[in-house]
Amino acid sequence: MDRLRKLRIRQIIGALLVVYLSVILIQTVQRNYRLKREIGQLEQRIEALARANEELEYKIQYYQTDSFKEKEARSNLGLQAPGEGVIILPKEAKPAEPADQEEKLPQPEPNFKQWWTFLFG
């Protein structure tokens, strides 16, 4: 009987050890999954920031060119190149719309008349 009791105690201790190790393994796998997902998100963010940085570098290069400076000087300051004439157009005023313009629009036929015309000519 004593030997049987020791065997049962060993089995119980072994089962508890297996359960404990299984719980630790599951927690480790879950943590690994979360970390991989977070790493993936961070890598995507790094790529997006790298693209934005590259785009900003291109813009900086463009803003330093003479053509951009000339374009901005022409549009914002009204400057002109030698031998070039500038035409200044007056701002267009919108014509006043008559209030009764809605009344002049033809009223559509009722739906049943449109069907009658469609089906029977």
pLDDT in tens, the chain (121 residues): 788 888 999 999 999 999 999 999 999 999 999 999 999 999 999 999 999 999 999 999 999 999 898 888 888 877 777 777 767 778 887 766 665 555 566 778 888 888 888 888 7
Would you state the structure tokens that stand for residue 69, as one six-digit string? 């400076």
Give dist(CA 102, CA 104) in Å, integer.
Answer: 5
Give dist(CA 66, CA 73) in Å, integer.
Answer: 10
Residue 109, Ramachandran bin (φ over 0: left; ψ between -120 and 50: alpha; else beta): beta
